[in-house]
Amino acid sequence: MKASVLAPSLVFVFGLGLGLGRSASAFPTGEQFDGDALTSDGGGGIAFDGAPRWSAHTCATCHTDAPGQIGIELQADHAELFTDGWKAGTAYHLRVVLQNEHEGLGAAGLGDQCGGALDPYKPCDYNGYAIELDDDSGKPVGKLAPVVGTACAGSGTVPSDVDTYVLKDGTAAMHNGAHMAQTKWDLCWTAPAAGVGTITAYIATVDGNGGDGTASFPNDTVGDDVAAGAVPLAESGATVLTPQTGGCAAAGDAGLGLALVILALAALARGRRRRLVIALALATAGGCVHVHPRERETLARRNMKFSPDTTEDELDLHMQEAREGSEGGYGTAGGGCGCN
């Protein structure tokens, strides 16, 4: 499956810290995603997980010059989530796994014993993720919660050392920065009521390189690796989505293509023995999905065309013909030679 990533063509003041007289920095804690964009250099409630409601912006919006070598796995304690589909009201224990970490490995062995905890200073292995689950209209559905111990967190206070943070509006989850060198993050997702149909999990990850190795610049946004993708989850009883293999190798604006593969994984065994399934692992191979008939309405929308403004097309064609003495090439009749 091809999951394209937009290049950082839009510069966000809150993402890069511009206008505040500071160097560009990432969001090492989940609370910063909720922070005000101008007053606290935060994300303004944007999860940067690649969902359509964020114009498909991912971590690559701020993290530039990514090597493109990492991948993502999505795991669940109920294997049938990826085979039979999601069931209304069911609480799923999900796990996002960063694959092929290669940045910041020199600090990975330090764990939390890094940064200000050491003298002299040593850089930390900063990694992160973000996820949300949306319906076909792009609206987040279901309920997200951190995992505390082996259970989904309730309405009480969540311990500060839990690795997942949920946005204040409950629409997305991400790392909270409680621990360094994390490559796995657990969360709970309770499915919505029946009738929603196919739900898509939008996921993005960052493999941080530890900044420039100094206390004054511990987590810059240059040279970190990033990955993103989308995992479709059919509703139980509806048409089950089959995994896509093969397809074209067209890349996105940032040149990052991700393939979806179904793999099996032995369990996360804390207390109860369960079997996790790596559903649709997001690897770093190119490809694209076959479009279902029910999905073609979206592709036919005006804003999905490369050049939706026909009037502007006519103007461009007129100027081209005037410069080149040519005719056709934009759907109009050409000359007798058939060149157009």
Place 118 in a pLDDT band, splitting at 50, 70 and 90: confident
Q: What is the mean pLDDT of the chain?
A: 74
pLDDT of 290 > 60? The answer is no
pLDDT of 193 > 90? The answer is yes
Of residues 297 and 127, the one with the higher pLDDT is: 127
Of residues 232 and 282, the one with the higher pLDDT is: 232
Predicted pLDDT of residue 79: 86
What percentage of the chain has pLDDT greater than the value 90?
Answer: 38
Please answer whether residues 223 and 65 qualify as being in contact, where contact means their C-beta atoms are separated by less than 8 angstroms: yes
Question: What are the residues whose beta carbons fall under 8 Å from the beta carbon of 305, sequence distance 6 or more?
Answer: none
- Distance between first and last Cα of the chain: 34
Most confident stretch, 209-218, 240-249, 317-326: 209-218
Domain ranges (residues) in the chain: 13-311
CA-to-CA separations, 190 to 130, 142, 143, 152, in angstroms, rounded? 17, 5, 5, 9
Opening angle at CA 262, ends 258 and 264, nearest 5: 130
Predicted pLDDT of residue 296: 65
Question: What superfamily would CATH give domain 13-311?
Answer: Reeler domain (2.60.40.4060)
Please answer whether residues 26 and 34 qualify as being in contact, where contact means their C-beta atoms are separated by less than 8 angstroms: no
Please answer whether residues 97 and 159 qualify as being in contact, where contact means their C-beta atoms are separated by less than 8 angstroms: no
pLDDT of 147 > 50? The answer is yes
8/63 Cα distance (integer angstroms) = 8
Place 183 in a pLDDT band, splitting at 50, 70 and 90: very high
Predicted pLDDT of residue 134: 98
pLDDT of 231 > 60? The answer is yes
Predicted pLDDT of residue 294: 62
Predicted pLDDT of residue 71: 93
* pTM (2 d.p.): 0.66
Nearest to 206 by CA among 182, 170, 188: 182
117/180 Cα distance (integer angstroms) = 12
Which tokens in the block code for residue 332? 């109009």
Of residues 42 and 184, the one with the higher pLDDT is: 184
